[in-house]
Structure 1
């Protein structure tokens, strides 16, 4: 049965619960404002039900979004004129928008998706929705009617990308048209009702100037990053969940010359590279029968046959790391990848663990030699206690000594305390160690001012 048909049945058979769901902005106390809000919701319910009598709602799903929105708007205006309802322009616009959101959008979540400050939307059952703003979680008054209403919205989201979620397949990973990542899990795995999380992919494309303005990094470090990218050093960006790894990768990719061929590999497409010569690849999960899966490792192997100048892996998380490291050390210099790890040293341990997942049995020393020969620079980003995101450390791999991969820090963010408003205080400093790749950078035609490596910390 089509989604809109189910909504139609729900409105005709259970109007009272639907009315309750639309009163998500009220307060427990009865006030004059509440009475006005209830009257508005009753009007919206009446118009909503009349709409199903006037329109063949099952055909709306097959129309272009702009045309479908236009038809709904015209029908609602006709209903209001027919019934002689007198509304202010503001109330009429509000009414039309809310009904369009229920029919064509994501219902109560639609206004949240238009707030550019919101980076995460977390739905914990039908009556609890949290959002993240500026790195902090905040409760909202947004509510769904019941679990079935939430399931309808989840169904709408995943159906847009050709996926499904039901009792046979109770977990789903997908993405919205704007690149935002969504994850949904439903009963019986979710005990308290369906849960939905949306990792927003903002409309604004950040560049390095934005990062400097937000104090994520300072101009001296930007100059160093620009140089190592153009000189084709292999770079690994590490950090925890929500630390800004993908944003950092997007910004660093701006330094890649426009005449180079780039191939990106991702689990869920998030990268927004602005070079003209980019081929974007995305993995494919297995179908219901468990067949047809295309993993990141498959894509990495195929990429090597596509004559890439640089390979960019959105996130290294499995056996593909073995093929990626081999590519980095056999002619595909200048490649960039991200990895979940809390420190640069931890990221090396994770790489070793994932190399074991590739199924290739090789000694530990051989694995570490592979890592040391393939990777050059590790950039560590983190989200701090005040919600800000910063580069905490830039380290370089200088080779092997015995069984250990040698690593040295070039730049770091030194925290000095907490400000009155809870903001983290500190400064970016050089460690005083000159990069071991200085000669390689100069050979590539890029000379760094030695002052940027000078330790100026007091």
Structure 2
């Protein structure tokens, strides 16, 4: 359906819903869109659709058709910002969700005089003069009217606080909506005011989603319906932004207090919301479907060890082993894909570090929540609009070594900081923790090799592998399963290096046996770091590595 907003001198604004294209704009029936006035021809212009999108074609009218102040013969593709002027009537495209293209009229549709019936309808192409109950269209309309009204009032809204701005704009919006006599009675005015107000001075449809604790990820793909992730599964919502400009306004509203800037010249930006959620935005021309926004929600819930066992992320035996690794100062790398739950597990493991130890956390975007008495949390900083002020994770890792740390926890290794992390682990800071993106424990070590080479330091590959083999003790692999759950699929120990190849042995693995649901099973191997510890060879510890976990 194509929705047009029409303003005519002396008449109230109206919206028309067009079911099929092409459609005819003219002075009288059988035109699909009827506009009054002597300057409107009987067959004035056509709105058509082709592979490039919507276009308007003037049919040689005397008064002509104007788009954005210029007379045209053909103009396209039409967008929401284009103003069409025909005989004193102003038309604007409001919505283009899923309209059907009219099929070519066959010869059978013509009567004996060669005339074509207008789709066998007795009234203009189902172009309803009523607005119906499409709240989405009305929201876009009132958002545009609100901006025009504020501009007419010449209000200096920059001097208002957030609460004052919302109150002032809210009063203006109520006047605009209550003055609209054509608003259908089945549209709740209170809900409409809240939605338009959220989009004008807040975060629009994101307001409710950010308040929903069940939402872990929010995905905005232009003006299409917003998608969210709940319980590890992506689902489509009924919410959507009214226009690309509304999305741009929300992005600017988020990043402006952070001193960040985004435009067509610099169309990508990362930022952090006030609640700790991470935002990534990509603008056209890089994003072809309009501004794309992805928000990784900050999980307010702090998962405890018992919670992860109950959820099936790991078994009680695996939990006991990982706790033993942390207290024994084993350096651990948590590996997995995006959204696999690496940060949640890293937060849990960090909680096993003794309160008497000095812990320094380093993150690209702060997500870890530790409760240690002697804790320093560091966060990387991107460069400003002038390209200055960059502080990378690698810079922070280097600086952390001067801060007398017992443990260093790096939220995620993505580049050259891997070399500094390995050196820290090999120079008295064993028991440190980090995460990497990889699909298996073996791939995780290969990724660390590659990231070390990215440091720009000329080190032989053999030396890098020896560093990894001595610095990394345990690799925990985590994955997001098809049912949306996050589960540890493998815990492996790095046992050394031989003939240039790093040796590993699997200690626990997620396996399916005889068609049953996957279970966490122990391999039966005893970790090498327990061999030299007599007390560790007690029956209670050895039970962790039995045939079944």
TM-score range, shorter chain: 0.7 to 0.9
- Verify the 8 A CA contact 1:231 1:441 in the aligned structure 2: no
CA deviation string 1:9-54 (max 9, x = no partner) = x99x999979869x9xxxx999x99539589859976995799489
- 2:348 maps to 1:251: yes
The alignment's TM-score, normalised by the length of structure 2, stands at 0.69
- For normalisation by structure 1, the TM-score amounts to 0.82
Quick one: structure 1 residues 186 and 414, their matched pair in 2 at CA, closer, same or farther if it must change by over 3 Å? Answer: same
Residue equivalent to 1:35: 133
**1:112 pairs with 191, 204, 209, which one?**
209
Partner residue of 1:332 out of 419, 426, 429: 429
Structure 1 match to 2:390:
293
**In 2: Cα distance, 1:441 partner to 1:131 partner:** 49
With over 3 angstroms needed to count, the CA separation of the structure-2 counterparts of 1:113 and 1:418, relative to structure 1, is farther
Task: Calculate the aligned-residue CA RMSD, in Å.
Answer: 3.9
CA 33–208 in structure 1, closer or farther in 2 if over 3 Å, else same: farther
In structure 1, C-alpha distance between the alignment counterparts of 2:250 and 2:420, rounded to whole Å: 39
RCO higher in structure (CA 8 A, sep ≥6): 1
User: What displacement does 1:98 show?
Assistant: 2.6
Q: Distance in 1 between matches of 2:401 and 2:231?
A: 39
Match of 1:316 in 2: 413
Q: 1:171 aligns with which of 255, 268, 278?
A: 268
Instruction: Single out whichever of 271-280 and 237-246 deviates more from structure 2.
Output: 271-280
Deviation digits for residues 206-254 of structure 1 (CA, Å, limit 9, x no counterpart): 2222211211112221111112112211110000111111111111111
- CA distance 1:36–1:124, shift in 2 (3 Å): closer
Aligned with 2:528: secondary structure?
A: coil
- Contact preservation (8 Å) 1:44, 1:95: no
Q: How do 1:212-291 residues align onto structure 2 when only pairs under 5 Å count?
A: 212-291=309-388
Count of matched residue positions in the alignment of Structure 1 and Structure 2: 433
**Structure 1 gap segments, 5+ residues each:** 1-9, 84-89, 420-424
Does 2:526 correspond to 1:429? no
Is 1:130–1:139's contact at 8 Å kept on the other side of the alignment? yes
> C-alpha displacement at 1:182, in angstroms?
1.2
Distance 1:318 1:140 in 2: 36
Whether contact under 8 Å (1:260, 1:277) holds in the other structure is yes
Measure, in 2, the Cα distance between the counterparts of 1:446 and 1:306: 37
Segments of 5+ residues of structure 2 without an aligned counterpart are 1-79, 85-89, 98-125, 181-186
SS at match of 2:518: strand
Which whole-Å CA distance do the structure 1 matches of 2:232 and 2:127 have between them? 32
1:42 and 1:297 mapped to 2: Cα distance? Answer: 45
User: Within 5 Å, which residues of 2 pair with 1:83-94?
Assistant: 94=191
- Counterpart of 2:157 in structure 1 is 58
CA distance in 2, matches of 1:112, 1:29: 35
Which one has a larger percent helix, Structure 1 or Structure 2? 1
The CA deviation at 1:443 is 7.2
| Local SS of the residue matching 1:339 | strand
State the secondary structure of the residue aligned to 1:35: coil
For 1:260 and 1:405, locate their aligned partners in 2 and report how far apart those are by CA, in whole Å: 31
| C-alpha distance 417-153 of structure 1, shift in aligned 2 (>3 A) | farther
Q: CA 1:250/1:234 → structure 2, altered by over 3 Å: closer, same or farther?
A: same
If each structure's strand is expressed as a fraction of its own residues, which one has the higher value? 2
- Higher mean alpha-carbon deviation, 69-78 vs 211-220, is at 69-78
